[in-house]
Structure 1
Amino acid sequence: MLADRLRSIARIALCFALPALASAAPAPAASDALPASLVCHDDLFAPYFMQNDGRIEGLNVDVLREAASRIGIAIAFRATPWRRLESELAKPGGTVDCAFAMSRTARREQYLEFGKVALQPTEYALFVRQAEATPPTVRLEDMAGKVIGVRAGFRLPDEIVAGAASGRWSLAEVPTDAVNFQKLALHRVDAVLADSYVGLYTLRQLKLPGIVRVAPPLTRFDTYLVFRKSGHSAALAAAFDRAFTRMRQDGTFARLTSSYLGPDALTP
């Protein structure tokens, strides 16, 4: 008798529980869960990623902090030289899980998760001494027999690589854009290849007159926030894509870009 009564009570309790169980949202799969925190790496690249008195700051830092805040995860940043960063990302069991801002290549897509929304558009242009820029302009063909300063470890336009390989010009690698422009001012290189806006920003900071950007740029491409492929990398890339899209729609990208690069360099 007692056993029958207990079974009856259990059936009644189950009937009340079933609607609640049916309406509850399914728990996310482990592969879709976002981590509570994220550490992202980049090389020093003013004004996108800078280190002042031990503090990490810059345009991309501000963009990523805002995006992470909207997603609901904590984000920290580490400065890592570009070549070491590339090596760690490609190495199985490497120590870097997140990096920026990287161009999309078939090789990188084998081991990195790219989003669909770019972090920044990038254009590479030549910079020359103004006295040698007129008249009327400088073309890449005019670099025959000359030395072009480039930043070590960075992706170079195909025509620059091909010209160097054929001996039409030579490349001088240095670790920073600032060193490149100082060498250009001292006539130790004949031109500098750099990100257009990074170059203009660096020249203003160094107060180096008499150096101009050659138009049009040699190449344009997008750069992305990337994640080492893992159980949650696809979910992370999708979450940042949604945040970047909203930030472009509500004017946050334009406001942040303008604060560093001026109103004429707004991110499209």
Structure 2
Amino acid sequence: MALPTPIRRLPAILLALSATAAWALDCPARIRMAYMDAPAEPFFLGRGTVGEPPGLFVDWALQALAATGCNSRVELARLPVARLDKALSEGDLDIVLGVASTSEREQTQAFPGRHGKRLLYVARADIALYTALGDRLVWSGQTRELKGYKVGVARAQMPANLAASQGWALELAPDNASNFRKLESGRVQVLLETSILADPYFQAHPLPGIRKLNPPLATLEYYAPASRSFQRDFPAFTEQFWLQLCRQSRTVLRELPACNAG
């Protein structure tokens, strides 16, 4: 599939650290990398195009690439989530940043080792409900407790799929920032959001009565999966990139467990 233009090409010097690294033997000449086109602060900044600064996740990825010792040319693009999945699954992208692991994605995309062998996720977040009703809304994890409420959720993201499976009345927003504003304006009284985005937002923009409801509906781990063809062609590089990306994330997300290389 044709990817959108412009694609941001990064100077190779930003990614060079040591050409003598053992795993540099299978360095790719080019890496087609992409991430979602909607903002998800502070991880992805701006909308639609690769901007400056691009956000934490992109910074971590570039630092991780430098740490591999590879002198690869990186092409960055932004796409809607559904197109990211399709392009990666079909081998039209090499790496996608900030994607949650799901059983469906693991059937067509390459993720770090699973089943407790590694702790190489880059971020971890609860999918949780937020309300500005304070203690007036009772939640113990039962779907029926939200009967009569409209739940705000960002479309084309994992919380939207989860909310739809609950049978709730939904108010769809184009992105997370718009979803937050709907709660602030009173258009909805309940949101379903990822905690890694919602918690810092509501700390920076306090809202009277705001409360995160427990228990969460799910907990997700976020990675930078590769296409299966890319992992097959550059297995050592891909493993090192995943390890270095995990280590970069821990410089900020220090509450997460140490990266376990197996």
Mark yes or no: TM-score above 0.5. Answer: yes
Size of the alignment, in residue pairs?
A: 218
Moved more, 178-187 or 37-46: 37-46
Structure 1: 5+ residue stretches without partners: 1-27, 259-265
2:150 is the alignment partner of 1:147: yes
What one-letter code is carried by the residue in structure 2 that aligns with 1:134? D
Report the equivalent of 2:14: none
Matches within 5 A, 1:108-257: 108-116=105-113, 117-129=120-132, 132-134=133-135, 137-141=138-142, 142-156=145-159, 160-164=163-167, 169-204=168-203, 207-210=205-208, 211-230=210-229, 231-232=232-233, 234-244=235-245, 247=247, 252-257=248-253
Aligned partners of 2:176, 2:59: CA distance in 1, in Å? 21
Question: Are 2:28 and 2:234, in contact at CA under 8 Å, matched by a contact in 1?
Answer: no
Which residue in the other structure is 1:267 paired with? Answer: 256
Distance verdict in 2 for CA 1:242–1:62, change over 3 Å: same
Distance in 2 between residues matched to 1:183 and 1:85, nearest whole Å: 27
Please report how far the alpha carbon of residue 108 of structure 1 lies from its aligned counterpart in structure 2 after TM superposition: 1.8
CA RMSD of aligned residues (A): 3.0
How far does the alpha carbon of each residue in 1:11-31 deviate from its partner, in whole angstroms, 9 at most, with x for none? xxxxxxxxxxxxxxxxx9xxx
Using the TM superposition, give the Cα deviation of residue 220 of structure 1 relative to its aligned residue in structure 2, in angstroms. 1.0
Q: Contact (CA 8 Å) 1:120, 1:223: kept in 2 or not?
A: yes
Q: For the residues of structure 2 that align with 1:195 and 1:183, how far apart are their CA atoms?
A: 16
CA contact 1:115–1:240 (8 Å) conserved in 2: no
Residue 159 of structure 1 deviates from its aligned partner by: 6.3
Q: For residues 200 and 48 of structure 1, what CA distance do their matches in structure 2 show?
A: 13
The answer for the alignment partner of 1:34 in structure 2 is 27
Superposed displacement of residue 56, structure 1: 4.1
**Which stretches of structure 1, 4 residues or more, deviate above 4 A after TM superposition?**
none
Give, in angstroms, the shift of residue 182 of structure 1.
Answer: 1.1
Helix, strand or coil at the partner of 2:99: strand
In the TM superposition, residue 139 of structure 1 has moved relative to its aligned partner by: 3.8
Higher alpha-carbon Rg? 1
Q: Percent identity?
A: 22
Tell me the alpha carbon deviations over residues 118-151 of structure 1, each in whole angstroms, 9 at most, x when there is no partner: 121121111111xx22158534442112111111
Per-residue Cα deviation, 1:62-97 (whole angstroms, up to 9, x for no partner): 22122111102344532222222223223x363x22
- The TM-score with structure 1 as length reference comes to 0.69
Find the aligned partners of 1:233 and 1:152 in 2 and give their Cα distance: 34
Q: 1:61-140 alignment to 2 at 5 Å?
A: 61-73=58-70, 74=72, 75-90=74-89, 92=90, 94=92, 96-116=93-113, 117-129=120-132, 132-134=133-135, 137-140=138-141
Question: Structure 2: 5+ residue runs without aligned partners?
Answer: 1-22, 114-119, 258-262
Amino acid aligned to 2:157 = F
1:204 offset after TM fit, Å? 4.6
Give the match's secondary structure for 1:216: strand
Q: TM-score normalized by structure 2?
A: 0.71
Q: CA deviation at 1:41?
A: 1.3
Give a deviation string over 1:187-240, Cα, whole Å, max 9, x none.
2222111111201233355x3522332233221121211111114253343122
